[in-house]
Chains A and B, each alone.
Chain A
Amino acid sequence: MNDESNGRTSSSRMRAAAPVATGNGAVLVTGICGRLGKRLARVLHRSRPVVGIDRRSFPDKPKDIVHAQVDIRRKKLKDVFRAGDIEAVVHLGVMHDPRASAAEHHSWNVAGFTKLLEYVAQFRVPKLVVLSSANVYGPHASNPQFLTEDAPLLGGQNFSDIRDLIEVDILAQSFFWKLPETETVILRPVHILGTVHNAPSNFLRLNPVLTVMGFDPMAQVVHQADVVGAIELALRPGIRGIFNVAGPEPVPLSRIIKILKRQRVSIPYSLARVVLGRMWSLRLSTFPVPELDHIRFVCMVDDKRARQVLGFTPARSLEETVLAVDEGRW
């Protein structure tokens, strides 16, 4: 209570000496136990203190990482902020599990993130990095070939399940004017490939890979390690704003499948929709039907801003990026 009233007074006071991001204070990483979170933690903890938040356990955690096994919707999250001098928050803990209930999804993504933002404001954390996704733009037949950061977020138009992911992005955007002294960075990477368990990586692990007959859209992919690199760059002091993050040059989807040397099965869209719908309802597939649009239409981004302002260049070649989906499988 006391803390809360303190927080309120501090937020209402003119912030004369707002803390500045120095680039070596403690970083709070939400969703640290995910595959991307673990990778990021291993990179960050070499140069600065890392505090992790995840309700999952972190069995092989490096010794110097502090891990708080809490749900981000709980009050306990505040203790984490209170305990350490948090200089930056990296929000990776976005839930995108198409099987989870809509209520759980919404409460985790939106209510949880609102809580996190509240503490960022209250404890005057000078840096906030949110990992959104290029999926917020959504694949559409009428998309320009390269979407810039100010393109409308239409991802929920045909796929309502990802509306809360768009809401997270927009909530983070509201921070630009609500709390201008916090350097807020929103990263919108294209399909992340690697050992991560996201839809594009899982899709490319299928054998044979399913494609929609008569469609072969251009696609952009990015290696998980390059995304970690982009987050590191975003943590540098002075960086703020929205950045599309893309990997090597775009190629047709068929080329990506060829690199993996996988069989490819093309089926007509109408059939694919019915079959996938049945499989989804029988829990035989992890792909909801609207995700078929990703293998029909383009959803590519213009990453000029990330290259110029963030100084980001992908270090992994297309082959390395694509073949990374098979790493760590046994």
Chain B
Amino acid sequence: MSTRRRRATGSLHDASRALARIDAAARGAPALLSRLLGGAEAAIDESLERLLGESFERRLSRVPLALGPAGVDPFGFDPHWTKYVVLSVATLHRKYFRTEVHGIENLPNGRVLLIANHSGQVPIDGLLIAAAMFMDAEPPRFVRAMVEKWAVSLPFVSLFFTRVGQVVGVPENATRLLTQGEPLLVFPEGARGIAKTFDNRYKLTDFGLGFMRLAIETDTPIVPVAVVGGEEQYISVANVDALAKLLRMPAFPVIPQLLIPGGQLPLPTKYRMYFGEPMRFTGDPDDDDAVIEEKVWLVRQTIQSMLNRGLRERKHIFW
């Protein structure tokens, strides 16, 4: 009887000691976690510094921003949120695609509309233009772009887009961003442009007219941007329109490389980016489509000839 009791109390002691150990470990866990996180943070800062050539905060301090007292701009853009995005995009920009940037010194200060060709099935070109604007332009700039309305109704996605400076794609927002003095990136080809098949590479599709009306209305210079290298990252051989319609997608490209293991990643082509001279347009923003089209045609031709020149100069797709 007594031995049994002793054994019972012994196991009770064991149990309580084990609990105490778990308790101590649990109490130590947040400290350990914060140390680990702190270590990760330091590693992020270090690799960012290596990629940017200076600390993120130093570069950030030179970006002209319209921040309110709460540290966010009226659209909810919080530059400190972009740190981790900048790290991953900077790695793509410098290491993976090894982007060559030409003519970024053409960029005027203050508001500007960046009009670029769209390519590559996945909008990596947008990310890389943003990276070039932050990493290669002086003073560094944060590019703003517009996102689809439905994206804003999704949890987390809407929060993320808002905090990194993307705004809902309505004309009022574009006008306000430009009057706030921000650089705004627009792909006037839209989904038609990004889903080009390989045989149509670097052939610009029709441009929308909205950007020209916006530029005239807000008296904003247009900087044409040609991106070479995007069309070869995912090689699309055809677009299945019926399937796209069925799945309610803008396009359904057939990309054979996706079937090869590792082919899901974009091919590491070398990107080349050309920033043209600023173009200014005047007139009536509410003019007939025919009048606006002429001005749009000028921009489109400029980008096309910049693309052609870039392609001629390119010796190899991958380096």
State whether the Cβ of B24 lies closer than 8 Å to any Cβ in chain A. no
By a CB distance below 8 angstroms, the chain A residues around B150 are 141
| Given contacts A249-B69, A251-B68, A318-B70, A214 and B156 within 8 Å (CB-CB) | yes
Which residue of the partner chain, among B75, B153, B172, contacts A218 with CB atoms under 8 Å? B75
Question: Do B72 and A141 touch (CB < 8 A)?
Answer: no
In the bound complex, do residue A218 and residue B158 qualify as a contact, i.e. CB atoms below 8 Å apart? no
A142 touches B170 (CB 8 A): yes
User: How many residues on B have C-beta within 8 angstroms of the other chain's C-beta atoms?
Assistant: 24
Q: Could you tell me which residues of chain A, from 277 to 307, have a CB within 8 Å of some CB in chain B?
A: 296-297
Q: Given the complex of chains A and B, what is the CA–CA distance between A212 and B153 in angstroms? A: 12
Does A203 lie at the interface of the complex (its beta carbon under 8 Å from any beta carbon of B)? no
Which residues on B sit within 8 Å (CB–CB) of A145? 74-75, 167-168, 172-173, 176
Cβ-defined contact, B153 with A252, below 8 A: no
Q: Check B159–A250 contact: CB distance below 8 A.
A: no
A215-B159 contact given A144-B173, A145-B75, CB 8 Å threshold: yes
Chain A: minimal CB distance from B233 (Å): 30
Which of B76, B156, B167, B168 touches A252 (beta carbons < 8 Å)? Answer: B76
A19 at interface by CB-CB < 8 Å: no
A217 contact set on B, CB distance < 8 A: 76, 162
Across chains A and B, the number of contacting residue pairs, with CB separation under 8 Å, is: 70
Residues of B within 8 A of A218 (CB): 72, 74-76, 162
- Tell me if A237 is interfacial: C-beta within 8 Å of chain B: no
- Residue A213, interface by CB 8 Å: yes
Beta-carbon contacts under 8 Å, B166-213 to A:
167-168, 170, 172-173, 176
CA distance A136 to B154 in the complex (A): 23
B74 in contact with A268 (CB, 8 Å): no
Q: Is the CB of B155 within 8 A of A213?
A: yes
Contact B155 A250 (CB under 8 A): no
For A252, the chain B residues whose CB sits under 8 A away are: 70, 72, 76
Whether B70 contacts A141 by the Cβ 8 Å rule is no
| CB proximity to A under 8 Å, residues B58-117 | 68-70, 72, 74-76
Q: B155 contacts which chain A residues (CB < 8 A)? A: 212-215, 268-269
A142 CB contact (under 8 Å) in B72, B75, B76, B168: B168
Which residue of chain B has its CB nearest to the CB of A293? B153
Pair A250/B170 contact, Cβ less than 8 Å? no
Confirm or deny: B7 has a beta carbon within 8 angstroms of a beta carbon on chain A: no
Asked if B153 contacts A141 (CB within 8 A), the reply is yes
A326 at interface, CB cutoff 8 A: no
Known: A215-B159, A218-B76, A268-B155. A143 touches B168 (CB 8 A): yes
- For B74, the chain A residues whose CB sits under 8 A away are 145-146, 218, 249-250
Q: Check if B149 is an interface residue, CB within 8 A of chain A.
A: yes
Q: How far is the CA of A268 from the CA of B74 in the complex (A)?
A: 26
A262 touches B (CB below 8 Å): no
> Which A residues lie within 8 Å of B152 (CB)?
141-142, 297
Cβ distance A157 to chain B, nearest Cβ, rounded Å: 14
CB distance A144 to B159 under 8 Å?
no
Interface residue? A232 (CB, 8 A): no
B159 near A141 with CB under 8 A, answer no
Q: Which of chain B's residues has its CB closest to A266's CB?
A: B155
- Which of these, B70, B159, B172, contacts A249 with CB under 8 Å? B70
Question: How far is it, in angstroms, between the C-alpha of A143 and the C-alpha of B172 when the chains are bound?
Answer: 9
Q: Which residues of chain A are near B70, meaning CB under 8 Å? A: 249, 251-252, 255, 318
- Per the bound structure, the CA–CA distance linking A16 and B127 in Å amounts to 67
Find chain A residues with CB under 8 A from B173 CB. Answer: 144-145
Chain B, residue nearest A218 (CB): B76
**For residue A142, which residues in chain B have a CB less than 8 angstroms away from its CB?**
149, 152, 168, 170
Whether B69 contacts A144 by the Cβ 8 Å rule is no
Q: A215-B159, A250-B68 are in contact. Are A146 and B153 (CB under 8 A)?
A: no
A167 at the interface (CB under 8 A from B): no
Q: Are B170 and A214 in contact (CB under 8 A)?
A: no
- Chain B residues closer than 8 Å to A141, beta-carbon distance: 149-150, 152-153, 158, 168
Closest to A248 in B: B69
- Kindly state the separation between the CA atoms of A155 and B69 in the bound complex, as whole angstroms: 30
The 0/1 profile, CB within 8 Å of B marked 1, for residues 258-271 of chain A is 00000000001100
Selected from A144, A251, A296, the residue in CB contact (under 8 A) with B72 is A251
A142 to B153, CA, bound (A): 8
B157: chain A residues at CB < 8 Å are 214
Q: Which of A145, A249, A252, A268 has most B Cβ within 10 Å?
A: A145
Residues of the A chain whose Cβ atoms lie less than 8 Å from the Cβ of B76: 216-218, 252
List of B residues within 8 angstroms of A212 by Cβ: 155
Q: How close is B204's CB to chain A, nearest CB, in angstroms? A: 29
Are the CB atoms of A318 and B172 closer together than 8 Å? no
The distance from the CB of B172 to the nearest CB of chain A, in whole angstroms, is: 4
Instruction: Give CA–CA (A296, B260) in the complex, Å.
Output: 41
A268, B154: Cα distance in complex, Å: 11
Q: How far is the CA of A143 from the CA of B176 in the complex (A)?
A: 13
Q: Which residues of B contact A216 (CB under 8 A)?
A: 76, 159, 162
B-contact bits for A187-215, CB 8 A (1 contact / 0 none) = 00000000000000000000000001111
Given A146-B172, A218-B162, 5 more pairs with CB closer than 8 A: A142-B152, A144-B170, A214-B159, A218-B76, A318-B70
Chain A interfacial positions (CB closer than 8 Å to B): 141-146, 148, 212-218, 249-252, 255, 268-269, 296-297, 318
Residues on B lying within 8 angstroms of A by beta carbon are 68-70, 72, 74-76, 149-150, 152-159, 162, 167-168, 170, 172-173, 176
Q: 25 pairs across A/B with beta carbons < 8 Å?
A: A141-B150, A141-B168, A142-B149, A142-B152, A142-B170, A143-B168, A144-B170, A145-B167, A145-B173, A146-B172, A148-B172, A214-B157, A214-B158, A215-B155, A215-B159, A216-B76, A216-B159, A217-B76, A249-B68, A249-B69, A249-B70, A250-B74, A251-B68, A251-B70, A318-B69
